[in-house]
Amino acid sequence: MSSGSVEQFQQSLSRLDAASTVVSPDELEATIADLADPPAIGAELPFDDLSLAETPVTLGPSPAQLRDAVTGVTGSRMGIASLGTVAVESREEGDEFVALYPERHVVVIKASDLRSDLADAFGWIRGEFEADRQSFILATGPSSTGDMGALVQGVHGPEQVHIVIVRDNE
Amino acid sequence: MSESEQLDADRIRTLLESEGDEIKENTRLFNAERYDAVEAVGEAEHEDNRSRAREIKEDAIERLPELVDRTREAVEANGGTVYVADDAADANRYISEVADDADADSVVKSKSMTTEEIDLNEALEADGLDVWETDLGEFVVQIAEEAPSHIVGPSLHKSREEITELFEREFDPDESLDSAEKLTAFAREYLGGRIDDAEVGVTGANFVMADSGSIALVTNEGNARKCASIPDTHVAVAGIEKIIPSVAELEPFAELISRSATGQEIPQYLSLLTPPVDTPAIDFDSEDEPGFGNSDADREFHLVLLDNGRREMREDDDLRETLYCIRCGACANSCANFQSVGGHAFGGETYTGGIATGWEAGIEGNDVAEEFNDLCTGCSRCVNACPVKIDIPWINTVVRDRINRGKDPGFDDMLVDGLMPDEEESGTPLRKRFFGNFETAAKIGSATAPLSNAVASTGLARKAMESVLGVDARRDLPEFERTTLRDWAEGRESPVEAPERRVALYPDVYTNYVQTERGKAAVRVLEALGCEVVVPDVGGSGRAPLSQGMIATAERKAEDVAESVLPYVEDGYDVVVVEPSDLAMFRREYEKLLPAEEHERIDQGSYEILEYVFGLLENGASADALPGGDGDGVAYHSHCQQRTLGLESYTETVLERLGYDVLTSDVECCGMAGSFGYKSEYYDLSMDVGATLADQFEAVADERTVVASGTSCMEQLDSLLSPGTRHPVELLDPAGR
Ligand code: SF4
């Protein structure tokens, strides 16, 4: 399975009007603190070595916090370089809500988890399905609609998307 | 549909005026974006995806009963429920019960044509529930109390200004909602609260995956995700035909669906959900309790698989393909008539556009399909647009045939049966039989020309034709030639002594009786390029009756053509066809009308005239034998069916090689498409469609020669622009210059 390049992923994101930042693992907490316009909520990251615990985001928010949050931070275990897509997993941590309610969605993804294209991504998805992890949303850029007479971003989902790509430890 | 809504000239005019502009702009934008997106991914890869998608659908519909069982097992193993509903009432009753069990006061929905099909909103509202559409387009038509006008963009017939007016009247907001941003923000806020409050969320399912019991949802707004995950109870409603075996088969559809619908590479949100999902339930009553309110509610999931006629469609050899449809709307966007009037004319109770006839005939009945079926001119532009390669024009023809046959034979029939040499059962409307038997009219008209032409053009005759046959008096009628092409050719000595190739030039009805000049030009061009040419004695291809849904007659014509033409093919002749719609018969429709082996031989052995000239030039014939273009300008309009067959570029290339500067039209269709443009109720629509082509050519018509490959395109162009239109082969005619 070929892996996608960070450069291509970032190019795709800029086409989608989505921001991106590349950081080393050490820089992650400071970067999240920077990007998380308060009030911010989060779903704990699906990685052993990275966590939101030390960042100014509220994990497992209350309904009121969910509704008031400006920023939502989630992790993603798969991104598609050619499309700028990230996978949001349906987990007990509530990623789905954290990714949908706030107007800004910050996504943490590892550079090594990038796939090159949709075909490559489907290889990964098939593997996940076999391992009984079977609910993902492939999210590409901010939510949008043309139904009101012009293209508008931020409908039922986020208006801004910011992807934080974590470089791998050498 | 009530009497007043019947599709007549007035209703079409009204829709052209009230909705035409928005529909045009939006469908053409989608269509243009689709072309760009296909080009970006590459024609070859796109074709590959289409072939795979088609195979998967064919296989899945074939194995449907087994896949339904597997879906049920998987969903139940996950903790959900599957209900297979026989019809709308059955589905609605079940969903009402689910809402009742959930103690629901309100239901939120994300866009789903299947729930439109069963009128779920009305059923739930009758039970006292509040029902809210959360897709913004659906929300607009819900507030406006209208039906969706497009499968993908339910409200694309409405302008921003109209939506502003509607929302301000309906909601009386504090500040004016005079921009798309403000409207969107208002709707987000309004619907956001309703989603949080609803006990039940209803979604459709673009695909159902049997092995895992998953559903795939395609949206851009994010509302389907909210409807599926915020209320504790999720009901997904899908036609049984949406099932594919597993997530592995989803891939080509994920590639195709948005590209075909809106020209996007991938939708904003492609959700693969295997409910009940792990996302926690939210308890909004415990506002300040962490962990989303720490709800102890269980998530509930119900998958409602709707039959409503689909199992019968599966048994129906002609309607079956409809079940492969993935509801992308590309057929509608590529349809010139749809681009003008939209789904409020070109659609039934639920579905709109080219494939709507198949759906409405299957789920509602032929009478619903009849209301708009005649808006399909059979131009076939949708054929290549469809991501699953459904032969949409054929479905429209078959349903037209069934509608004809279902008619009560009236007094008309007794009069006409003896005169019309067709194979149709009594009941087929007189005017359809007239157009379908055009060949007979042409024969008589030619034999009695010029008297027939003189008589036909009198005011009295035109009035009679309009009232009896509905032939619009504003249209010029074809003028018949006394000497047919065949008569002319018969008296000729071939000037070619040692022919390189031998050609049987097919004398289609128009070329033989009306446009004989283009036929003569074709003969001389072929001879100049070293071919021996004969014009065989063979009748019409069956295109005319087929257009009227007279399949039995078309079949007999096809058999006659095969009988006359195949011996030539056997003898090493190439069959060359001037009229693209007849070539399309040979290549496409004869597959349905003739034994496979005969179709194959005709298909392989026949060529469009400029395709053939191109081939001759490529194989050593000298272009010097033909008059050159000297840099002159040509405005070229190809023909719908010719383009579908991928033959447009041969004419361009040949003209360019001869030194012409070629400008090719890029509109989907000229709007005439044979008999369609003659029918009085469609006259305005036909001219509206033609206006786009006229716009493109008007500016250049003075300095460029206008040429068109198809007869009806020529007729339409002649009525749109003043200088006469010619067939491209006439520019190549050695005797013509
Ligand atoms: S028939 Fe084909 S093009 Fe039309 S909506 Fe269905 S899948 Fe799309």
Which residues on neighbouring strands pair with residue A87, listed in sequence order? A138
Distance of CA B569 to the CA centre of its chain: 33
The secondary element (H helix, E strand) that includes residue B82 is strand B81-85
Q: State mean pLDDT over A60-66.
A: 97
pLDDT at B400 (0 to 100)? 95
Find, among B430, B446, B562, the residue nearest to B509 by Cα.
B446
The C-alpha of A22 sits at a distance from chain B's nearest C-alpha, in angstroms, of 23
A-chain residue closest to B192, CA distance:
A156
At how many degrees (to 10) do helices B43-62 and B251-261 cross?
A: 120
Structure tokens at B638: 């190809």
- The answer to pTM > 0.80 is yes
- DSSP annotation string for B553-575: HHHHHHHHHHHHHHHHHHTTPEE
Which of B518, B519, B441, B483 lies closest to B675, judged by CA? B441
Determine contact, residues B357/B373, Cβ cutoff 8 Å.
yes
B53 touches ligand 1 (CB under 6 Å): no
User: Is 60 exceeded by the pLDDT of residue A124?
Assistant: yes
Q: Among B418, B461, B422, which Cα is nearest to B438's? A: B422
Give the DSSP H/E element, type plus range, for residue A65: helix A63-68
CA angle A115, A119, A122 (to 5 degrees): 80
* For chain B, the helix, strand and coil percentages under 3-state DSSP, each to the nearest 5: 55, 10, 35
Mutate to test the interface with A, among B186, B221, B284 (most CBs of A within 10 A): B221
CATH class of B49-310: alpha beta
CB atoms within 10 A of CB B221: 30
Instruction: Note the pLDDT of residue B2.
Output: 39
Per-residue pLDDT, B419: 58
CA B304 to chain centre: 29
Q: CB burial class (10 A; 0-12, 13-18, 19+) of residue B172?
A: exposed
Q: What does the pLDDT read at residue B511? A: 95
Q: What is the dihedral of CA B461, B462, B465, B467, to 10 degrees?
A: -110
In chain B, the N- to C-terminal Cα span, in Å, equals 57
pLDDT (0 to 100) of residue B4: 41
| Phi, psi dihedral angles at B240 (to 5 degrees) | -60, -20
Give chain A positions within 8 Å (CB) of B279: 90-92, 94-97, 135
Is pLDDT of A150 > 90?
A: no
DSSP run (H or E) holding B643: helix B640-644
The shortest C-alpha distance from B212 to chain A (Å) reads 8
Q: From residue A137, how far is each of B215, B492, B501, B576 by CA, in Å?
A: 11, 72, 61, 54
- Are residues B525 and B563 in contact, defined by beta-carbon separation less than 8 angstroms? no
Spatial separation of the C-alpha atoms in residues A35 and A30, rounded to whole Å: 9
**Residue A1: predicted pLDDT:** 42
Report pLDDT for B3: 41
> Cβ contact (<8 Å) for A147 and B290?
no
Closest CB to A140: pick one of B225, B266, B291.
Answer: B266
Interchain pair B137, A140: CB under 8 A = no
Q: Give the model's pLDDT for residue B674.
A: 81
The 3-state DSSP class for residue B505 equals: strand
Average pLDDT over residues A21-38: 96
Interface test with B, best of A120, A128, A147, A151 (most B CBs within 10 A): A147
Ligand 1 centroid to Cα of residue B353, in Å, is: 9
Chain B positions touching A143 (Cβ under 8 A) are: 220-222, 268-269
Could you give the CA distance from residue B383 to residue B584 in angstroms, rounded to a whole number? Answer: 12
Distance of CA B436 to the CA centre of its chain: 21
**Cα B702 from Cα B723, distance rounded (Å):** 8
Give the distance from residue A169's alpha carbon to the nearest chain B alpha carbon, in angstroms: 31
* Structure token digits, residue B707: 């040429």
Residue B136 and residue B140: Cα distance in Å, rounded?
A: 6
- Residues in chain B within 8 Å Cβ distance of A85: 266
* pLDDT score recorded for residue B462: 86
Distance from the CA of B314 to the center of ligand 1, in angstroms?
Answer: 17
Query: Which segments of chain B have a pLDDT < 50?
Result: 1-5
Q: How many CB pairs under 8 A join A and B?
A: 182
Phi and psi (nearest 5°) for B2? -75, 165
Residue of chain B with shortest Cα separation from A145? B221
Indicate if the alpha-carbon torsion angle B460, B465, B470, B475 is positive or negative: negative
Q: State if residue B561 touches ligand 1 by the CB under 6 angstroms criterion.
A: no
What is the overall mean pLDDT for chain A? Answer: 94
- List chain B domain ranges: 49-310, 485-736
What pLDDT is recorded for position B412? 54
Global ipTM: 0.97
Tell me the sheet residues that pair with B104.
none
**Which segments of B175-218 does DSSP mark as H helices, in order?**
180-197
The predicted structure's pLDDT at residue B417: 58
pLDDT of residue B408: 64
> Measured between alpha carbons, how far apart are the two ends of chain A, in Å?
21
Give dist(CA B361, CA B402) in Å, integer: 10
Backbone angles phi, psi at B463, to 5 degrees: -65, -45
